[in-house]
Amino acid sequence: MRVSLFILLITIFCWGCKQQADDTETGTIEVKLRNARGYAQHDWQMDSVYHRLQIKDVANDLQWKAAISPHDNYRFAGKLYYESLRGINAPNIILIGVAHSARNYALQDKLVFGTFTAWESPYGKINVSSLNAEIMSKLPAHDFIVHDSMQVIEHSLEAIIPFLHKKNRAAEIVPILVPYISYAGLDSISNHLAQAVHKIMEEKHWVYGKDVAIVISNDAVHYGDLEWGGSTTMAPMGTDEAGTEKARQMDLEIINKCLTNELTADKIKLFTEYTVQKDNYKEYKWVWCGRYSVPFGLSFANKLNMLENNKSLSGTFLGYQTSIDHPLIEVEDIDMTVSALSTNRHWVAYTSIVYQ
């Protein structure tokens, strides 16, 4: 019996070695898949979301260079996903995401890349672009870290991928997460990233907006005094109707002063002054979870446009909503969980802004 088992194990081992050799000889590359976790996993789910949001998707020839998109549950923010992403038609999309759990891994002051070759989507697999490795090869080593565990648990990019992949099955992505980074750090690293991508685009004769686009993941203010993990500082203006409106107006002030019309370094820095504490950049001042992804992504996108076209990007405001100011679609019946409240005591805001 033991002899038979030994022979069987040797046979399996030899077959595995031969299969690996055959894969190498034929050029087959093993797929390392980042599995979907909390958003749409099936095409019929996305069809239902579009139907419930009354989205009539049509092809267009827009060539938006960059966009800010939400990443919350489709029940709350679905329409603004579509508005943000409908003009992103480039086949290579650099995704700039939030790193919500960076503290768990003591990640800070570096971009977070991964080694996945594809991410799961409702339409099969969306490939990670070869740009992922090319960019890392051109960045200073101290600017980034490769950390698959962080990319696995982070939802801010997974949320966006189904909308991008639905409109373009040939799209490829470069997923980058932005943990705690000071303004000085994001200014420096965004400069290096813009230079690296510019060099690659020159080599490939690519056009910004046509061949490469940037999508920045963000949710705006998180507000209220209930079910925010014990925080007592997330409703500074009160939770009645007047307090809610004041909070909305603060968001719109930030958008108007920092994120729209001609982008400048001063505007991007002002955004960080609104959202993070002056003496501790790891702490919120005004609770946008995109307090690092937004200034980093815009600084990178704008510097890339300066290198490519010798001018600044201009931001166009497309919309702003909260999880309590518009009719919400049902998603539980299509196997998409909703766990958050939507009341004056617990709400989130979203914005859609595009850059050309």
**Which domain covers residue 170, as residue numbers?**
31-355
User: What does the alpha-carbon distance between residue 147 and residue 101 come to, in Å, rounded to a whole number?
Assistant: 12
Mean pLDDT computed over 137-163: 97
Handedness of CA 165, 122, 318, 153 (dihedral sign): negative
CATH number at residue 223: 3.40.830.10
The pLDDT of residue 26 is above 60: no
Q: How far apart are the first and last CA of the chain?
A: 71
The pLDDT of residue 60 is above 60: yes
Q: How many other C-beta atoms can be found within 10 angstroms of the C-beta atom of residue 143?
A: 18
Mean pLDDT computed over 198-218: 98
pLDDT at 16: 41
Mean pLDDT computed over 27-32: 72
Could you tell me if residue 14 is inside a domain? Answer: no
CA nearest 270: which of 252, 295, 245, 287?
295
User: What does the alpha-carbon distance between residue 127 and residue 133 come to, in Å, rounded to a whole number?
Assistant: 13
User: What does the alpha-carbon distance between residue 36 and residue 158 come to, in Å, rounded to a whole number?
Assistant: 7
Could you tell me if residue 17 is inside a domain? Answer: no
pLDDT at 28: 54
The pLDDT of residue 83 is above 70: yes
Torsion, Cα of 165, 54, 353, 252 (10° steps):
-140
pLDDT digits (tens, 9 = 90+) for 287-302: 999 999 999 999 999 9
Mean pLDDT computed over 162-167: 97
pLDDT at 8: 36
Question: Which contiguous run of DSSP H or E holds residue 47?
Answer: helix 43-52
Could you tell me if residue 19 is inside a domain? Answer: no
Q: How many domains does the chain have?
A: 1
Instruction: Report in angstroms the alpha-carbon separations of 202 from 13, 186, 193, 195, 310.
Output: 46, 24, 14, 10, 14
Residue 337: pLDDT band with limits 50, 70, 90: confident
Residue 30: pLDDT band with limits 50, 70, 90: confident
Could you tell me if residue 173 is inside a domain? Answer: yes
pLDDT digits (tens, 9 = 90+) for 227-281: 998 776 799 999 999 999 999 999 999 999 999 999 999 999 999 999 999 999 9
CA nearest 172: which of 115, 117, 99?
117
Residue position matching structure tokens 């992403």: 85
Residue 37: pLDDT band with limits 50, 70, 90: confident
The pLDDT of residue 21 is above 80: no
Could you tell me if residue 40 is inside a domain? Answer: yes
DSSP codes, 210-256: TTEEEEEE---BEEESSSSTT-SSS-TT-SSHHHHHHHHHHHHHHII
Mean pLDDT computed over 18-40: 66
Could you tell me if residue 12 is inside a domain? Answer: no
b (16+ CB within 10 A) / e for 228-257: beeeeebbeeebeeebbeebbebbeebbee
Dmax (CA) of the chain: 80
Task: Check: CB of residue 270 under 8 Å from CB of residue 260.
Answer: no
pLDDT at 215: 98
Could you tell me if residue 200 is inside a domain? Answer: yes
The pLDDT of residue 1 is above 50: no
